[in-house]
C-alpha cells in the first residue's frame, strides 16, 4: 500500500475518509477514488493473511448518527 493518511487504517476509511467528513464537513483526502477499489483488494488481502502464521483481528464497527 502507498502511504496512508493518519486515521485511515481500514479499507472503508481509505475509500470514504469519514473522520475528515466529520471534522471538515466534507470528504478531503481519499486514497481510493474507485468505488470498486475495496472489492478489488479482497484477494490481495486474503493472500497476505494466509501467508501469516498467526494474527489478531480487531473489528471496528462504525457508529453513525
H/E element, 13? helix 11-16
- Given pLDDT bands bounded at 50, 70 and 90, which one contains residue 57? confident
Predicted structure pTM score: 0.45
SS3 sequence of 19-49:
HHHHHHCCCCCCCCCCCCHHHHHHHHHHHHH
Give pLDDT, residue 1: 45
Measure the CA–CA gap between 60 and 41, rounded to whole angstroms.
18
Give pLDDT, residue 51: 94
The pLDDT tens digits for 2-42 are 455 666 677 777 666 677 777 888 766 666 667 787 788 88
Amino acid at each position: 500500500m502507498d502511504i496512508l493518511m493518519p486515521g485511515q487504517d481500514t479499507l472503508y476509511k481509505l475509500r470514504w475518509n469519514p473522520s475528515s467528513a466529520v471534522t471538515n464537513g466534507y470528504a478531503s483526502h481519499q486514497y481510493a477514488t474507485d468505488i470498486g477499489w475495496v472489492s478489488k483488494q479482497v484477494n490481495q488481502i486474503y493472500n497476505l493473511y494466509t501467508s501469516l502464521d498467526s494474527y489478531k483481528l480487531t473489528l471496528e464497527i462504525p457508529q453513525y448518527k
